[in-house]
Structures are given as structure tokens and as C-alpha cells.
Amino acid sequence: MTPEEQPPQRTRASLTSPLTLGFALAIGVLIAVALATALVGVSTVILSIVLALFLALGLDPLVSRIERAGIARGWGIAIVFTAFAVVVALVIWLIVPRVIQQLVEFVQAVPAAMAALASQDWFVTAMDALGANPDAVAEGVAQFFSDPERLLALTGGVVATGFGVIGGISSTIVIVALTLYMLASIEGMKSAFYRFTPAYGRSTVIRLTETITGSMGGFVMTMAVLGALNATLVMLLHVVLRLPFPALMGVIAFFLTLIPVVGSVLFWVVGSVVALFTDPVAALIFAVLYLVYMQVESYVLTPRLMGKSIAVPGILVLIGAMVGAALLGLLGALVAVPVVAAITLIVREVVFVRQDARTVRL
């Protein structure tokens, strides 16, 4: 064997030795742990970036409409973003303090409300039918709701996600600033992305990207509008029916109804149960009126607002929302639907087209 062949043989032998292999595996594990730790450490930053990107995509259709009206894109961005910043400031100034106050009042009022509920005839009859002790059930529910952390956990982390991601004035300012920068540079970002694809397939990538970003923008704007309509309706119903905590329930309705497919149903259950603690008749009226609104939202508002921006089978939307919520909470449920729509579009426009063109076995 020639001397030139010796170094590769020694290298292979050293790499397959138990000591070297164990050392390499240990280093690999340490690197993986370090990367995971770093990812967890910047998770808030990543969530802020994702949220800002979605807000920018949601505002971009408005900028495009203004641009089509003959106004320069720069002025369109200034108009849309100024309106967006004013809305955010008004929400922080007028709604957030009231919501926090009502959240505290709700936690403090739960024990008395459950004590009054335990004495109502319909509750006693229902518990007797189930073979449960009314006083014990009421006390257990009161203890559960008296813990704010459990209250947030009951809503699937919706309130925690909303105030965790956007909570704090400084975080809100950062997200608003990121949204402005992304809205102003979204066309440049897409142009840079196109340059990474070969010229012969760039037209297809441009077409798919424009369709996906347009769908995401339409979806985000639609969900924001539907969430605002839900919140407004809930607050009005609470005021008219004299139910407590209208601002708190309106904010919970906004965040819950951002969850596609099941969000409105989930809030219908939560809102009706909370109203039941105050007045059974008012709770029944609330449940019926909100159920009527859910039908209007499903068959009138959503099709008109959504249009063809998200053409995804309902089962895929539901699965995507469930997976996204399990991974990232509310933001994950919101992001999952456009992501599923993008994957569906790519499969339909690229994968299926290539498969249909293959008529000969390779």
C-alpha cells in the first residue's frame, strides 16, 4: 500500500473509533441544545416578527387599493399606517385599562356569583339530575375561576397570547415599527426573493407568490374585520341585556373569533355560560341572538369578505388551526390557515401539474 493511501485510512479509522464517535455525538447534542435554547430565547422576537409580517400583509391590500386610485404608494402607506397607528393607540388608551379592570372585577365576583347560582332552582335540579352536590360544584367552580392563571388557561391562552405578544407599551411600539418597515419594503422583499429562483421558472414563482401573499392579506384583513364585528356585537348585547363585563367579554370575543372555523362557536359557549351565572333569561337571549349572528357571519359576511382569498377545504382549515394553536396558541391558529392555503396552492399548481404531465414511467 502506497504512503499516499495511509492518511485516508487513518482518518476513517479514527472516525469510527468509539471515543471519537462518542465525542462527535456529544458535540452534536450540545450544539442542538444550544440552538434550541437560543430559539426559545428569541421566541418572543420571532413571534413579533411573524405578527408584524401578518399585519403588513393585512394592510397591503388597502395600500394597493389607494395606489390603484392614482395615489403614490408612499402616500398610500402613510395614510393606511397612520390610520392603523391611531386605532392601536385608541385601543390601548380606551379599551385595555377597562378590560384589565373588568378582569379583576370578574375574578373577585366569581365566589359571590357561584354562591347565588347554587341557590337557583334550575341549577339545583340540573345537579340532582347529574347526581352531583350543587354546593360542592359551585365551590369547585368558584375556586377554579378565582385563579387568574386558570382563567387565562381556560380560554386556550387567547388572552395570554394577545397580551403576551402585544402586552406592554414597548412591545406594541416595536411591533408597530416592524409593521411599518415591512409594509414599506414588502415589494422589495418579494423582488429579492424572486432573484433566488432560476430565470426559467421565475414567472411561476412570481405568480404563486403574488397569489399567496394576496390570499394572506385578504385573510388577515377579513379575520380582523370579523373579530371587530364580533367584539362590537358582544359589547352591545352585554349593555342591552345588562350583563356584566362588556369590555372584557368583547376583547375575549375578538381574540377567540380570530380562530378560524371554531372560534365563534367556542365563544358562543363561553359567553353563554358566563351570562348564565348572572341571569338565565338574559343568557338564553344572548345565546339565541349570537347564534343568529353566527349564521349571518358564516353564510353572508365571511363569503363576501373572504371571497376567493382562501380556497381551502374546511377539514384542512380545521386541522391546520388545531395544529397551529397547539404550537403557537392564537397566533399559530391564525398563521396556520394561510400556510395551509399556500401549501394547497403549491400542490395544486406545481405538484399536480407535474404529475399530470408524467405519462411515462421513469
The predicted-structure confidence for 30-58, as pLDDT tens digits, reads as follows: 888 887 777 766 667 777 787 788 888 88
Whole-number pLDDT of residue 148: 53
How many structural domains are present in the chain? 1
- The verdict on residue 1 lying in a domain is no
- The verdict on residue 69 lying in a domain is yes
Domain of residue 137 covers 42-354
Query: Grid cell 406592554 — which residue?
Result: 168
Measured between alpha carbons, how far is 328 from 49 in angstroms, rounded to an integer? 14
Whole-number pLDDT of residue 7: 53
Whole-number pLDDT of residue 5: 52
Whole-number pLDDT of residue 35: 79
Whole-number pLDDT of residue 164: 46
- The verdict on residue 126 lying in a domain is yes
- The verdict on residue 67 lying in a domain is yes
- The verdict on residue 18 lying in a domain is no
- The verdict on residue 359 lying in a domain is no
- 211 within 8 A of 342, measured Cβ to Cβ: no
Whole-number pLDDT of residue 163: 46
Residues of the chain falling short of pLDDT 50: 10-13, 154-167
Q: Which residues contact residue 78 at a Cβ distance below 8 angstroms, ignoring those fewer than 6 apart?
A: none
Measured between alpha carbons, how far is 277 from 280 in angstroms, rounded to an integer? 7
Q: Which three cell numbers stand for residue 69?
A: 386610485
Query: Grid cell 400542490 — which residue?
Result: 347
Enclosing H/E stretch for 70: none
- The verdict on residue 15 lying in a domain is no
The CB-side HSE value for 292 (13 A sphere, CA atoms) comes to 8
Whole-number pLDDT of residue 156: 43
Whole-number pLDDT of residue 22: 74
Whole-number pLDDT of residue 170: 66
Number of residues written out for the chain: 362
Tell whether pTM > 0.85. no
- The verdict on residue 94 lying in a domain is yes
